[in-house]
A and B are shown apart, each in its own frame.
Chain A
C-alpha cells in the first residue's frame, strides 16, 4: 500500500442527502445550485443563530447570512478542511463577517452616524422589562472590543465550548481564554453601572 494516500471524490454520492459535505465542495466551486441549496439547508439555521447570538436580533442578520454563504461560494476554492462537515469552516466565515460588522458599526458610532440595523423593536410577546434588559445587555456588549464580544457571546449566549470557539475564531485556546477573561472584566464593570441590567442578571440566575 503506498504511503502517500490520494483520496478522490465519489461523484455518485454528490446529491445524496446523507452524503457528507466533502462531496459538495467541488460542486460549490462550480456554483451548482442543488449543492448550494443542500449546504444552506444543512447549515443556514446554525449560522444564522450564531450571527444573532453575536449581534443580537438584528435586521441586518439576513444580509449577513447571505454574505456568509456568498463568501463561502467564492472562497470554496481555498477550502482546505478535511472535516466531514463544512460547518466549522462556515462558522469561521460567520465570525469574520460578524467581526467586520461590529467594527463597521463601531466606526460609524465614533463618527456619530446611526447604525440602523441594530436592535429592532422586539415583538410584543417579549416582556417589556426583559426587552429593556436585553437592550441594556447588548448596549454593554456593544462597548466590548469585537474579538472579546465574539468570544463572550459564543461562550455564554450560544453556549459553545472553548475549543469550538477557538476553531470558530481561528485562534488558539489560550487566546480565547484571555479574550473571555477580559470580556468578563469589562462586562462586569459595565453591568455594575447599570442597576437594571445588574438586577436582571441576579433574577435570571435564580
Chain B
C-alpha cells in the first residue's frame, strides 16, 4: 500500500510541475480573468443603470411621482420585545434560553425557538425570504392575495402563501421537519422529487432513516437515501386532521399514544432541544426506567440531535439494561458504536459494533455493522482484526458498499 508520506511527496511533485507550468507568467492569465470579470460587472452595472433611465424618459414626472407614492413598500420587521428595527441580511440568533419574535409590517410573525439562528435575506412588498440556518421556528404568515414568502431551511425551500406552521432544520443531523397547522406550503429540496405539497394537519420529516425498530416491528434493510415521511398531526380538539392523499409517499400512522408526553410531539416537529428539555422536566431518569424500547431509542435520537451525547448514551444503555437480548438492545449497541465512531473513539466503536454482531449476527443491519466494525478496527490501528472483519465482509457481501475498503484492507482473497 502506498503510504501517506509517499502520496504527499507525489502530490508535492505534481504541484511543483503545476507551478512550473506557468511559463514564467504566473499572474498573466489571472490578470486577464480579472479584467474580464470587471468588464462584465461594468457592462451589467451600466445596463442596469441605463435601462431604467431610458424607460423612465417615457414617463411623465407626474405619473412617476404618483406611481412612486402609490407603490407598495417592502415589508419591514421588528425584533423581540424591544421592537428594535431589523435589517435585511443581518443574522439573528435567539439565546439558548428563550425564544424571540420577528414581527413584520404586514402582521406576519416568526417566533425563533431558543438556540435557533436565522437571517431575513430579502424583504419585498409581498413577503420576505428567510433563511433558517439552524434550529426551529413557528411562523404565522398573514394570508394575502399576492403573498410571496419563502423559507430556506438548510437545502430545503418552503414556499408559503398564508399559513401557520412549524419548521426546523438540524444541520448536524441533516434533518428537515415541518408541521403545518393551517393553509398549505410546498417544499423542495434533496430527497424530494420536484416539489411536495404539505396540507393542513400534516407533518413532514426528511432526513436519515429513523432506526428501524421505530418504524415497524419488522426490521428492514437500512438505506443511505434520506427518509421522507409525511404523517398526520396528532389529534387536537380544535384542529382538522387530514390524512395524506394518494400519490404521496406512504404515510406512517402514529401509534395511538393517549398519554404521550410532550417531548414526543416536540420531537416530531424536530424541536429536539425543546423535546429533550420536556423529557428532562418530566424526569429523564424516570423515562429511562419506564418507556418501552422503541421510545427509548427515539429519546436517544432526540438527545443526540440536541447535542447531548451523555443523555443519548443513558437512553441507549437503558434499552440494553431493561430489554436484554431484544432487537432494541442490539440496535442500541449499534447506535452506541455510531456515536463512538463519530467522536473518534474507534476502539469503543469497534467494541459496540462487535456487540451488535454477536447479538444479531444475521440482523437486518449486519452488513453495515460489519463494514463499520472493519473501518473502526482499521482506524484504531488493529490491522489484524480489521483484516479478519474484511474477510468476513467479503465472504458474505462481496459486492457490498464497503467491498472496496475490505479488499484494500488485505482481504482480497477472502477468508482462508
Chain A interface (Cβ < 8 Å from any Cβ of B): 2-9, 25-26, 30-33, 36-37, 40-41, 44-45, 48-49, 52-53, 56-57, 61-62, 65-66, 69-70, 73, 77-78, 80, 82, 120, 122-123, 125-126, 130-131, 133-134, 137-138, 153, 155-159, 174, 178, 181-182, 184-188, 191, 200-202, 204-205
Contact = CB atoms under 8 A, between A and B. Distances in A.
Contact of B17 (A131, A155, A181): A131
Given A191-B2, A204-B12, A204-B13, A6 B21 contact: no
Nearest to A61: B29
Interface stretch (B37-45, B318-326, B390-398): B37-45
B17 A53 contact: no
For the complex, would chain B's binding face be called helix, strand, loop or mixed by DSSP majority? helix
B15 A53 contact: yes
A174 B408 CA distance: 17
B64 interface: no
Contacts of A178: 405
Report, nearest first, the 7 A-B pairs whose CB atoms are least far apart.
Answer: A156-B11, A3-B95, A57-B21, A157-B11, A205-B6, A185-B408, A4-B100
Given A156-B11, A182-B405, A8 B48 contact: no
Contacts, number: 175
Interface of B: 1-2, 5-15, 17-18, 20-23, 27, 29-30, 32-34, 36-38, 40-42, 44-45, 48, 79-80, 82, 84, 86-87, 89-95, 97-98, 100, 112, 119, 121-122, 131, 133, 341-342, 404-405, 407-408
A125 B20 contact: yes
Contacts of B2: 184, 187-188, 191, 201
A191 B320 CA distance: 48
B20 A126 contact: yes
B41 A57 contact: no
B96 to A, nearest CB: 9
A185 B82 CA distance: 59
- Which residue, of B8, B89, B407, has the highest number of chain A Cβ atoms within 10 A? B89
Contacts of A138: 14
Given A2-B84, A40-B37, A125-B20, A205 B92 contact: no
For the complex, would chain A's binding face be called helix, strand, loop or mixed by DSSP majority? helix
Contact of A65 (B13, B30, B44, B87): B30
Given A26-B89, A66-B36, A153-B11, 18 more contacts: A5-B91, A36-B41, A40-B37, A41-B34, A48-B33, A53-B14, A57-B22, A61-B29, A62-B33, A65-B33, A66-B37, A77-B122, A156-B11, A158-B11, A182-B404, A184-B7, A186-B404, A191-B2
Given A2-B84, A4-B112, A69-B37, A159 B8 contact: yes
20 contacts: A2-B82, A6-B79, A33-B41, A41-B34, A45-B27, A45-B30, A65-B30, A70-B40, A80-B121, A80-B133, A120-B21, A123-B21, A138-B14, A156-B10, A157-B11, A158-B11, A187-B2, A188-B1, A201-B2, A201-B9
Contacts of A184: 1-2, 7, 408
A4 B78 CA distance: 11
A131 to B, nearest CB: 7
Given A40-B34, A44-B34, A201-B10, A123 B42 contact: no
Contacts of B18: 49, 52-53, 56-57, 157
B206 to A, nearest CB: 17
- Which residue, of A4, A77, A138, A200, has the highest number of chain B Cβ atoms within 10 A? A4
A2 B80 contact: yes
A204 B121 CA distance: 51
Contact of A156 (B8, B44, B82): B8
A93 to B, nearest CB: 14
A8 B90 contact: yes
A122 to B, nearest CB: 6
Given A5-B92, A6-B84, A36 B11 contact: no
Contacts of A3: 80, 94-95, 97-98, 100
Given A2-B84, A126-B21, A44 B89 contact: no
Nearest to A188: B2
Contacts of A202: 6
Contacts of A122: 17, 20-21
